[in-house]
C-alpha cells in the first residue's frame, strides 16, 4: 500500500483556522486527519503555510 495523493483543506471557524487532510492510497483507502487551533493567535500567524 502506498500513498497516492494528499488533499489539504483550510477553513475557518470564527477566528480560528482548521486544516483537514485526506490521504488516499493505491488500494482505494482514504484516511482523514485534522488540526484545530485551540486559541486565537495574531492575524499573521492565523494562515499556516504548508510545504510538501
Task: Give the model's pLDDT for residue 32.
Answer: 96
The count of domains in the chain is 1
Expressed as residue numbers, the domain containing 13 is 3-37
pTM over 0.75: no
Quick check: is 23 in a domain? yes
Task: Give the model's pLDDT for residue 31.
Answer: 96
Closest by CA position to 20, among listed 32, 12, 31: 32
Quick check: is 51 in a domain? no
Quick check: is 44 in a domain? no
Quick check: is 10 in a domain? yes
Quick check: is 25 in a domain? yes
**Residues of the chain scoring pLDDT < 50:** 44, 52
Quick check: is 46 in a domain? no
> With 0-12 CB in 10 A as exposed, 13-18 as middle and 19+ as buried, what is 42?
exposed
Quick check: is 7 in a domain? yes
Amino acid at each position: 500500500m502506498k500513498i497516492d495523493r494528499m488533499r489539504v483543506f483550510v477553513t475557518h471557524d470564527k477566528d480560528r483556522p482548521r486544516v483537514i487532510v485526506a490521504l488516499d492510497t493505491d488500494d482505494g483507502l482514504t484516511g482523514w486527519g485534522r488540526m484545530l487551533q485551540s486559541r486565537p493567535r495574531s492575524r499573521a500567524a492565523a494562515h499556516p503555510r504548508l510545504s510538501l
